[in-house]
C-alpha cells in the first residue's frame, strides 16, 4: 500500500499528488513521519489511519473505500455551474 499524507488543513494526498515540495522532501527523507514544506506541513498516516473511510488521496482516490458517489473532476462530461455538486465522503 502506498502511503497517504494529510496536511494541517485536512487535505489527504499520496506522494504523487501532494505537490513538488512533498515529493522533494520525501526523496530526501523517505521514512519521515512529519514533512515540513514551504507551503504547509504534512503527516504520514499509519496503515490503520489510511485504511479509514475518507482517508484516500483526494486526487487519485487510490484508497477508494466504497464511495459510489465519487465525481471524477476530469470526466468528459458537461456540468452546469448551478447544479454541480462535490462528492460526499
**Higher-confidence residue: 66 or 34?**
34
Name which of 37, 33, 35 is nearest 49 in CA terms: 33
What percentage of the chain exceeds 70 in pLDDT?
A: 66
Rounded to whole angstroms, what are the CA distances from 8 to 24, 38, 82? Answer: 19, 13, 30
**pLDDT, tens digit (0-9, with 9 covering 90-100), for 8-40:** 999 999 998 999 999 999 999 999 999 999 999
Amino acid at each position: 500500500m502506498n502511503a497517504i499524507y494529510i496536511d494541517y488543513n485536512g487535505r489527504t494526498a499520496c506522494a504523487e499528488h501532494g505537490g513538488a515540495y512533498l515529493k522533494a522532501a520525501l526523496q530526501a527523507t523517505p521514512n519521515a513521519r512529519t514533512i515540513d514544506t514551504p507551503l504547509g506541513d504534512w503527516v504520514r498516516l499509519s496503515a490503520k489511519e489510511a485504511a479509514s473511510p475518507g482517508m484516500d488521496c483526494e486526487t487519485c482516490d487510490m484508497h477508494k473505500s466504497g464511495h459510489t458517489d465519487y465525481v471524477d473532476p476530469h470526466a468528459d462530461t458537461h456540468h452546469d455551474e448551478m447544479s454541480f455538486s462535490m462528492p460526499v465522503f
